Structure 1
Amino acid sequence: MKTNAFLATLAAGALALASAAAAQDAPPRVAGLFTQTVTQGSWDVAGYAGFKAMAEAQGFNASYLEHVTYESAPAALRQLASDGVAMIIAHSSGYSAAIKEVAPSFPDTQFVLYSYEGSTDGLKNYSAWSVDWDEYGFVLGVLAASASKSGHIAVIGGEPIPSAERTMEFIKKGAAYVDPAVTVETAYVGSFSDVARAKEIATGLIARGADFLIPSADTADAGIQQAADEEGALTIGSYSDQSAAYPNAVMTSTVMNFAKSYGEIGAEFTAKTLGDKIVTENLASSGWTLSQPFQHVDAAVEAKVFAVIDELKAGKIDLYK
């Protein structure tokens, strides 16, 4: 009996060791959080493509959650971390507060935000790849004011999250840099997905004289771009080349280098170098660019915009004067 008991204990110990070894050999679990669906729109679709490519390149066990509101984000983050997810990437600046609330309780989970972050609050398990939305907005203002014939442009956002507010502020600065007399109207849809409401707002702005619309409302951008396409105004594609979808109206598209940013996140997680850091993504870092050639405008407009881009890269323009 003693021999049998000893053998049973030995077998149980061997099984436990085998289970532990298997757990160690299993690929790390990573998860992405997205505000909308990853199959429609531009921001989340392009971001998910970068997330998926990163996970495949690093051999991670990846999953994602869609339609995670900012209010429900703390609960979603806690659930994922409690379930053993090793890295959670949140694809919106609106998730910042939730990460800062939850991360201290899960020191073994790395939290990463892509979009905009001003401070990690010293958290050793929080990092951000932060787009320079000031620069981004400035360039959008430059291109809109350069292309506008009426001297009246408009910006339509989804919700007043930090990145949207900063973008709008610097769109005004960029427009004034080109034309101090330009009129810049701003509006919020109140949603990132209400295409009909976005189109209604855009149509009203065009009726008031705006001939260039800057969409900044994720899935709802479609309503803004549709209005421009139908009403004879110009607009841009957001975060990826959308010229084929709105051929009558898209002058150029902002193209975010999600592959670069997410690739760096994955590599740093594997190298265990994440934590308490902010990586700035801008023109100089190849974090984003504009698609070429510009459509529906004289070549001089494209030349003017890229001259400003070159000056920004070289540090010759002070955005904060």
Structure 2
Amino acid sequence: MKTHTMLAITAAAAINCASFAHAADAPRVAALFTQTVTQGTWDTAGYAGFKAMAEQQGMKPSYLENTSYESAPAALRQLASDGVKLIIAHSSGYSAAIKEVAPAFPNTQFVLYSYEGSTGNLPNYSAWSVDWDEYGFVLGALAAAASKSGHIAVIGGESIPSSERTMQFIKKGAAYVNPKVQVDTAYVGSFVDVARAKEIATGVIARGADFVIPSADTADAGIQQAADEEGVLTIGSYADQAETYPNSVVTSTVMNFNKSYADIGKDYAAGKLGNRLVTENLASSGWSLNMPFAHVDPSVQAKVVKVMDDLKAGKINVEE
């Protein structure tokens, strides 16, 4: 979901690219990540799912780290020109780059994982789109249910499509549980500036927020640190973070990257990719919350589980 340092794309050596040993005639697959695959939770867990998919399908994988949205078109063109047949971009911020490049490479399948509203009817573009509306709604419901002050906050990294949707529906989910809840919102302006994220989190806590939702990837560490130090609650993002922040994390959202990437690989092998939007949500087991909750009354977990069950059953329309 994020962005990082722009890399030169003038030569293969200038791209931070790694490969694994496979048969010479194995189909080639590549992935774009906005940061390194050893930092944060979004790219780290996504990379694990990508690598597992390549192994399952007997593909020859490579990946690009630290690929900014501005440099993405050049990176995509280079990969496609080099004969990569399946390219997966691990952030909603790569959408424009794919739509720009894909028409020139009809024999390459491009896939985006995160959020996409339309494939533009491109026959070689598919997206596995997380239902960030639902995701945000649940996070807002959780924060409002756990908050004792009725004042919560959400801190994002950069204002990209998935972040904007998440923030919008965090507010809706919070109001669903507590119509009088106060929701402060802020952006760090970066997905890696831990110090700035901590500064913002400390500020919203000082203004009364007793539950802070981090949505800034690597910069989330600053938000979690502030919550730990100030004695307020928070939530882990994309992977279980309870052990890292045991004093503040109530639960963690866990994205089912392995499932999504495995489905991408299977559909590529079956020739099913192209002009497709696949929604990943609670009903599809695309993501979940860790149970049991910590640091809150059991009634909070029961209330949130009820919201999740009602969402899966279609009893709540988050668009209303």
Smaller-chain TM-score bracket: over 0.9
Larger radius of gyration: 1
Query: What SS is found at the alignment partner of 1:111?
Result: strand
Match of 1:168 in 2: 167
| Cα shift at 1:245 | 0.3
Provide the C-alpha distance between the structure 1 equivalents of 2:106 and 2:225, rounded to a whole number of angstroms: 46
Q: Deviations over 1:92-150 (max 9, x none)?
A: 00000000000000001100000000100000000000000000000000000000011
Residue 128 (structure 1) aligns with: 127
The aligned amino acid for 1:200 is: E
Superposition map of 1:180-191 within 5 A? 180-191=179-190
- Normalised to the residue count of structure 2, the TM-score between the two structures is 0.92
What residue in structure 2 maps to residue 139 of structure 1? 138
Q: CA shift at 1:37, angstroms?
A: 1.0
Aligned residue pairs, count? 298
Aligned counterpart, 1:91 = 90
Structure 2 residue aligned with 1:222: 221
Partner SS, residue 195 of structure 2: helix
Residue equivalent to 1:106: 105
Instruction: Give me the CA root mean square deviation.
Output: 0.9
Q: Deviations over 1:246-287 (max 9, x none)?
A: 000000000000011000000011111100000000000000
Matched, 1:238 2:237: yes
Q: Distance in 1 between matches of 2:116 and 2:137?
A: 18
Aligned-partner residue type, residue 234 of structure 1: L
The Cα shift of 1:319 comes to 1.0
Please tell me whether residue 115 in structure 1 is matched to residue 114 in structure 2. Answer: yes
- Alpha-carbon separation, structure 1, partners of 2:219 and 2:239: 15
2:306 is the alignment partner of 1:310: no
* 1:188-224 deviation per Cα after TM superposition (whole angstroms, max 9, x unaligned): 0000101111111101111111110111111111111
Distance in 2 between the 1:184 and 1:137 partners?
13
Residue 230 of structure 1 and its aligned partner are, at CA, apart by 1.0
Inter-partner Cα distance in structure 1 for 2:54 and 2:106: 22
Could you say what secondary structure the match of 1:69 adopts? coil
**Aligned-partner Cα distance in 2 for 1:43–1:231:** 25
Rounded to whole Å, the distance in 2 between the matches of 1:169 and 1:143 is 15
The equivalent residue for 1:204 is: 203
Q: 1:39 aligns to what?
A: 38
Percent identity reads 78
Quote the Cα distance in structure 1 between the aligned partners of 2:212 and 2:84.
41
**3-state SS of 2:111 partner:** strand
CA distances 1:156-207 after superposition (whole Å, capped 9, x unpaired): 0010000000000000000000111100010000001011111111011111
- Distance between the aligned counterparts of 1:235 and 1:37, measured in 2? 25
User: Do structure 1's residue 284 and structure 2's residue 283 form an aligned pair?
Assistant: yes
> For residue 233 of structure 1, what is the amino acid of its counterpart?
V
Q: Residue deviations 1:222-242, cap 9 Å, x none? A: 111111011101101100101
